[in-house]
Structure 1
């Protein structure tokens, strides 16, 4: 199938994903095969794929709370029959929350609620979200720069679970489910062998792999790469990413999977090489970089997660939380350290002033270090907090990743509020 002109511009990098999001915001259908569609509403909501079978529809994922009804309405414009099975590719809310409106529709129309199939760990994830509801709400609000956000919980849990691989036969359609660990430990990718269609879930998301989120549980860069290699071996003709437009053509699908795997393998390989030589986390963070040839690919842009965050995650996976600095094994309270250093510098105002100078010279990382020390040493000094906010804004302006900008904005707001107190 020929790709549309917007896709071609996305593929060659001349269009941004924001343009595609605007184009699909009404609820767009991509015709994948005669009996398969993928529904898109925004980049930030996971893709939802519907498969028409003799026993009813099979859905791969269900959308997030605010797009679930719109997504179901779009599916109903294509097929108005019962939904037989729902496959969760993982337990994040932008893939699972739509089950609520699907169940409500089934109840209203007198149909059985669809069976939910997923990896065994999805239910454990959902329970963890309930156990840590306050923290998860706080973190999600910080990650997307939405103060006061409350994370939705209570999604219906899977009816049927599997461990490594599951083969389903539904209404004449053979559907293969494979487990892998990447962004999550409960991830599934879906293979339709007769049609050579692969639904990757969030193993493919049209940005650099999200394996380094600063405030989330452990993620799995090496296993993410392994899952992409496993998909590559299937030789799909069509690739349906977890986020972003569908990719048609075996060569493009192969390239997307291969490039993602290679970039992750590079980070893992180089991190382990330094780790095995006894390097500290600081040395590894400043010594391991992704080759520019990957970061310039339009489907591997570091617009969401940051490769440096992935290096931290890889280090943590193999080496634990200790970073190799004796000062950090049993550290002094941050406020005490800040006060001591401020005293040595001649006052917190001296630290703040130097931070301003460094920020102006483009040394934003070092500037923020000093600004945070000054702010901790003088938390009630409005002038120093104003400088701290200014320095943080400078660093935010240099960040390419959404996460980097959002988490730094949390502290910039704190500083700005303190400056007015």
Structure 2
């Protein structure tokens, strides 16, 4: 009953997701339907859904490295049957990493390892993670301030793959997988037709769609909307998001799917409208904004990804990497440009001081640009680096999204360290 009350407060916007995360932090079960549960440990770990069948358990996703053991323990408190099949909704580590523990448990008990089913591109994703392992480790370590972080690779790949859709019958349970592109190009959502239960994977995540991450490969806002519309047509009565609490009720499920689709459709159509008029990326970024009625929804809050980042990704998808500024076609080195601007301004310290003034006036975008130029022109000047750090801290303080704060923080830490050297 307490969790029901908390959900209603989340739905109304009276509670924050941090409160829900605290409530489930010891491992919590949501009874989805007869013989179906969803396990939660934290918002930042993907939901894991367990389906009890005559052939054994079917798991939708497996948790991330630091919550996999806790998640499996919670599943085992509910049912100790063999895990027959695991479905990856996509290849991100917070959905696939638990397979190692599941396999180890099967080996220890003398049981067959479960079959893994996923979209064909999951294999390609895992191969790409190995090819770009150094980059992924560096970026994740920077973003979350974890020096020497090593990105987990080597998760077991799918045994069975599909392209557009796949219908399975496992121990009397009918399960259909549908493919869509959204945060990833390998995503699946899972439909239990007899139950009217939909597991959306990360197409629904209780925040604004994560389709614009600055340091990740191309994401697909328009296709994300198509997938949400496809889910809406199924008319689910229960919606299990990839992250966050389960949504019960046909009307609420439809509302969440519809609102997400509409917001993404708006961003895509407005960006395309300007692209088709010959607008530059600069024009588009400062013109296309999500209507406030969507951002006011408790399940579309821009708390992780920034809608502006999505606009940039949409532009890139349709118009390529060139932003329409001829100076960026074959750009000068940033250090050379910074040094020239510093000479024109009368010194790098003048750029830094102007950046500090602009920052104090709330013009953080312009302030950050000048501070970065000043820092690049005088990388060993501790005073200038200190001003740069202060300007970037103001940018962090003004950000509402976790992603925006995290990326500014990477460079704020760099400037702060140089100011003390």
**Which range, TM-score by smaller chain?**
over 0.9
Q: Give the CA deviation at 1:141.
A: 1.8
Distance 2:145 2:204 in 1: 24
Larger displacement relative to structure 2 (146-155 or 363-372): 146-155
Deviation at 1:3, TM superposition (A): 7.1
Structural mapping, 1:10-409, within 5 Å? 10-409=10-409
Deviation string, structure 1 residues 147-176 (Cα, Å, up to 9, x no partner)? 322111110000000000000000110000
2 CA distance for matches of 1:330 and 1:76? Answer: 58
8 A contact 2:381–2:419 mirrored in 1: yes
| Secondary structure at the counterpart of residue 4 of structure 1 | helix
- Structure 2 distance, partners of 1:121, 1:324, is 32
Contact 1:145-1:407 within 8 A present in 2 as well: no
Distance in 2 separating the partners of 1:406 and 1:205: 19
Secondary structure (helix, strand or coil) at the match of 2:185 reads coil
Report deviation, 1:146.
2.6
Q: RMSD in angstroms over aligned alpha carbons? A: 1.0
| Alignment check: 8 A CA contact 1:58 1:83 kept | yes
State the TM-score, normalizing by the size of structure 1.
0.99
Structure 1 residue 139 displacement after superposition: 1.3
Structure 1 residue 296, shift from structure 2 partner: 1.0
Q: Which whole-Å CA distance do the structure 1 matches of 2:206 and 2:160 have between them?
A: 30
Question: Does the 8 Å CA contact 2:143/2:410 hold for their aligned counterparts?
Answer: no
Where does structure 1 differ by over 2 angstroms across 4 or more consecutive aligned residues?
A: 142-148
Distance in 1 separating the partners of 2:143 and 2:312: 17
Report if the CA contact (8 A) 2:41-2:67 is conserved: yes
Shift in Å at residue 51 of structure 1? Answer: 0.3
Is the partner of 2:46 in helix, strand or coil? Answer: coil
List alignment gaps of at least 5 residues for structure 2: none
SS of 2:287's partner is coil
Measure, in 2, the Cα distance between the counterparts of 1:376 and 1:315: 28
| Contact residue 85 and residue 114 of structure 1 kept, 8 A | yes
Q: Deviations over 1:12-60 (max 9, x none)?
A: 0000000000000000000001100000000000000000000000000
Tell me the secondary structure at the aligned position of residue 154 of structure 1.
coil
Note the C-alpha offset of 1:235: 0.3
The gaps in structure 1 that reach 5 residues or longer are none
Q: How many residues align?
A: 421
SS of 1:117's partner is strand
Secondary structure of 2:113's aligned partner: coil
